Amino acid sequence: DSGVTQTPKHLITATGQRVTLRCSPRSGDLSVYWYQQSLDQGLQFLIQYYNGEERAKGNILERFSAQQFPDLHSELNLSSLELGDSALYFCASRRQGKSGYTFGSGTRLTVV
């Protein structure tokens, strides 16, 4: 157990639907990062939050949004899902001033 918890582990949904992925960072880590891993695109950075504030944005589609709550857990919302959104979605956390990013086990999203 890395200390970063992601739920659910697997998700199967239909095109056009909306899903929410959840991430709880390691205790004490203020930064949360979301990455998408697909077979053809590798690991793509989506978005970063630090202590509730958005800090960096990567290749995140407008259909996707995220937030970090006061208890530091984060949610990634994916809407109007398309087949191409099928991927592994990883969350990572990091402690300020400390090297090393710790990853969760990921959520495997399948859009049918």
Partner 1 sequence: AQRVTQPEKLLSVFKGAPVELKCNYSYSGSPELFWYVQYSRQRLQLLLRHISRESIKGFTADLNKGETSFHLKKPFAQEEDSAMYYCALSTDRGSTLGRLYFGRGTQLTVWP
| Binding positions for partner 1, rule: CB under 8 A | 2, 30-31, 33, 35, 37, 42-43, 45, 48, 50-51, 55-56, 58, 88, 90, 92, 94, 96-106
Q: How many Cα atoms are found within 13 Å in the side-chain-facing hemisphere of 43? A: 8
In this complex, which beta carbon is closest to partner 1, that of residue 64 or of residue 90?
90
In this complex, which beta carbon is closest to partner 1, that of residue 9 or of residue 18?
9
In this complex, which beta carbon is closest to partner 1, that of residue 26 or of residue 79?
26
- Nearest alpha-carbon partner for 98 in 30, 1, 5: 30
20, 8 Cβ separation under 8 angstroms: no
Give the amino acid at 91: C
